[in-house]
Structure 1
Amino acid sequence: MDFILNLPKNEPEERMKNGNLIRMFHLALWSIAIASTAVVASAETIEVDSVLIRLIDQVDVPARAIGSLVEVQTSEGKRVEKGDLLAQIDDTEAQLDYKRATFELDIAMRDAENDVAIRSALKKRVYSKAHFDRLVRAEAAQPRSVSQSELEKARLEAEQAEFEIEKARSDLQNAKTKKDLTANALALAKRNIEVRRILAPQSGEVVEVLRHVGEWVTPGEKIFRIVSIKRLRAEGFVQASQVTEALKGLPVKVVRHDQHDPAQTYSGTIVFVSREIDPVNGQVRIWAEIDNHDGRLQPGHRAHMSITAD
């Protein structure tokens, strides 16, 4: 690089200063070049040659109630969506229980709103107290005009009216509690109907149907198996020396070993890095989640994975 300076004539000190500036300038350019080389060298691609493609989204669908299958709505190879009805267990008894609970709740709700007993007890208290007060006044105005037994009977009737009010209020509160219990019984009856409907817990393809119409099933027994390949796991191993804290979350590219078009790659992200190191080969297991919406990549394929580490 040419660096031209207009140096004053016959001034040695200025010439020396300018020479120092030239040397400092070249040194700065050299430092920038070294730093740029270091930045380029920091970018590394980790190649993982032996990668196995595995399923992520797979589920065994069990029966949740005991009974016989009266309907099966799906078959192997059929595409289902989350919430679709797969099969129906006989729910005749559950339906009858639900109807009974509905009637019982209707009665309980009317009882919980019926305060006739309280209103009747309140009126009886008013009458009993007024009757007792009249007898007391009559006895005070004319002694011995009212017998002691009659006064005692009137007093007991007034006290009994108070007890009847308390009992009526307690009965109404119990009726409200019974209404809540009946509502729970209705919810349980509805639940017993729902658990006899076997629904798809996820979207995907039915790959196994293990029971058919007329067969008896029990809770927890596997009836269907559903898988989805829209996202897959690319699992492989890297040397422990290549594992860093930043490895998880790095982008990856996956290419099948037997793929005719090597340009067709699948993108993904490292989501798991094992904490264990194999003592024999010093490798660490990792896996990436791969986007496979086109469905070309399938579980069991062997592939090559490139991890871009910035």
Structure 2
Amino acid sequence: MGSLSLRTRFASSRAIFLFLLLMALLTGCEAKSEEAASASPPPPPEVEVAEVTAQPVVLSESFTGRVEAAETVELRSRVSGYIQEVAFEEGELVEQGDLLFLIDPRPYQARVNAAQADLAQARSQQAQAGSEAERARVLLGRQAISQEVHDQRQSALSNSRAMVDAAEAALQTAELDLEYTRITAPVSGRVGRAMVTRGNLANADQSLLTTLVTIDPIHVYFEADEQAAFASQTLLTGDASNSLNIELGGDPQRQYKGTLDFIDNRLNPNTGTLQFRAVLDNPDGRIRPGEFARVEMPVARLDQALLVDGKAVLTDQDRRYVYVVDENNLAQRR
């Protein structure tokens, strides 16, 4: 009897426990259903809308270029001799006419002195020949000498004049050679390093002494493909259209305004490109030849172009699109 009562109590307790668990599950489902029913959908996201305007616009393309000096000079000596002085600091700015190198002038000064002496001698001989020719003319009028003697003295006078001319030319040559011992800057600009230093021999027309480049203005050369080149030439007519935006060294902080001043007269047959040149003001000399440049050049003009903020343009694989709000205030992809 005791065992039977125990089993009965255990079965009753189990039934009560299952009943309570079922009631808890049903209550939880009903609560979740009520929460789901009471939750409202989220509001639509707020987006900025901009009105698209149509107006004339000029399209530009970017081209790669290089900065070059307007004038580049390779200084070579015109006479041979030993460098006596290097009269500049390498890399400094120099003015036209400044002394850069001095070749030992003493041998050339001696040649000038010798040429001056030869000229003085030739002039003395000319004066004597002139006196004899004049005396012969008077004597011939008195029939005191023969015509042959008269002609000989006139010929001697002509020869003496030629000797004077030759002596004067030799003196000018010697003076030029002496002047060439002073090598000066032919243009204003920035000088490079001295390739021949003091005490070394400079050979005439062979030894490169240094290089000199002008700095203001400075040029930017770039090349455009055939299609862009011919499209741009229809726009590059006035001074305003010739203005170009130029970025140097890939640095957005180094933006300059240049002016197109040269278009080559033929296409490069190897590359199919046409060369252009822009001019930049460079009064402080900060722009140096050899720098990399990006040039923005106009290539087309549109009379009615739709201008859209760049932030609204999206990309999907190989095409770009925007969302347009229609009359029902709905966004459509285009």
After superposition, residues 182-193 of structure 1 pair within 5 angstroms as 182-193=167-178
CA RMSD of aligned residues (A): 2.9
Q: Secondary structure at the match of 2:126?
A: helix
Q: Which amino acid aligns with 1:266?
A: K
Specify the SS of the correspondent of 1:209: coil
Q: Is the 8 A contact 1:48 1:236 kept in 2?
A: no
Letter in 2 for 1:243: A
Q: Match of 2:67, as an amino acid?
A: I
Counterpart amino acid of residue 296 in structure 2: S
1:192–1:165 CA distance, 2 compared to 1 (3 A): same
Matches for 1:31-42 after TM superposition, within 5 Å: none
Q: How is 1:1-310 mapped onto 2 (pairs within 5 angstroms)?
A: 44-114=58-128, 115-125=130-140, 129=143, 160-219=145-204, 220-244=206-230, 245-246=233-234, 250-256=242-248, 258-259=250-251, 261=253, 264-273=255-264, 275-276=266-267, 283-308=273-298
Give the 3-state SS of the residue equivalent to 2:192 in structure 1: strand
Q: Which moved more, 1:171-180 or 1:228-237?
A: 228-237
Confirm or deny: 8 A CA contact 1:98 1:186 kept in the other structure.
yes
Alpha-carbon contact 1:248-1:271 (below 8 Å) kept: no
What is the CA-CA distance between 1:266 and the residue it aligns to?
Answer: 2.6
Further displaced range: 211-220 or 109-118: 109-118
1:261-283 CA-to-partner distances (Å, cap 9, x unmatched) read: 46x52322141346335777x65
Q: 1:108 and 1:256, CA in 2 relative to 1: closer, same or farther beyond 3 A?
A: same
Post-superposition shift, 1:218? 0.7
- Structure 2 distance, partners of 1:174, 1:224, is 46
Distance 1:291 1:86, change over 3 A: same
TM-score (norm 1): 0.66
Q: Secondary structure of the equivalent of 1:266?
A: strand
Checking the alignment, whether the CA contact within 8 Å between 1:274 and 1:286 is kept in structure 2 is no
Task: Tell me the distance in 1 between the aligned counterparts of 2:270 and 2:132.
Answer: 82
Q: Which runs of 5+ in 2 are unaligned?
A: 1-53, 302-334
**3-state SS of 2:217 partner:** strand
In 2, Cα distance between the equivalents of 1:237 and 1:304?
A: 11
Alpha-carbon distance change, 119 to 206 in structure 1, aligned in 2, over 3 angstroms? closer
Tell me if the contact between 2:235 and 2:298 (Cα under 8 Å) persists in the aligned partners: no
2:318 alignment partner in structure 1: none
Counterpart amino acid of residue 306 in structure 1: E
Q: Which runs of 5+ in 1 are unaligned?
A: 1-36, 130-157
- Write out per-residue CA displacement over residues 208-235 of structure 1, whole angstroms, 9 at most, x where no aligned residue: 1111111111122101112222232323
Letter in 2 for 1:237: E
Say whether the 8 Å CA contact 1:254–1:303 is kept in structure 2.
Answer: yes
Shift of 1:257: 5.5
C-alpha change, 1:173 and 1:274, in structure 2 (3 Å) is: closer
State how far apart, in whole Å, the 2-side matches of 1:248 and 1:59 are: 31
Distance in 2 separating the partners of 1:257 and 1:63: 36
User: Aligned to 1:243, what secondary structure does the other structure show?
Assistant: helix
Label 1:88 to 1:295 Cα distance change in 2 as closer, same or farther (>3 A).
closer
Tell me if the contact between 1:67 and 1:216 (Cα under 8 Å) persists in the aligned partners.
yes
SS at match of 1:292: coil
Could you report, residue by residue, the CA deviation over 1:27-55 in whole angstroms, capped at 9, with x for unpaired residues? xxxxxxxxxx9xx75x6343224333333
Tell me: higher relative CO, structure 1 or 2? Use CA pairs within 8 A at least 6 residues apart: 1
Letter in 1 for 2:277: W
Percent identity among equivalent residues? 22
CA distance in 2 between partners of 1:298 and 1:101 (Å): 46
SS at match of 2:115: helix
Larger Rg: 2
* Greater helix content: 1
Question: Take 1:261 and 1:234, find their aligned partners in 2: how far apart are those partners?
Answer: 18
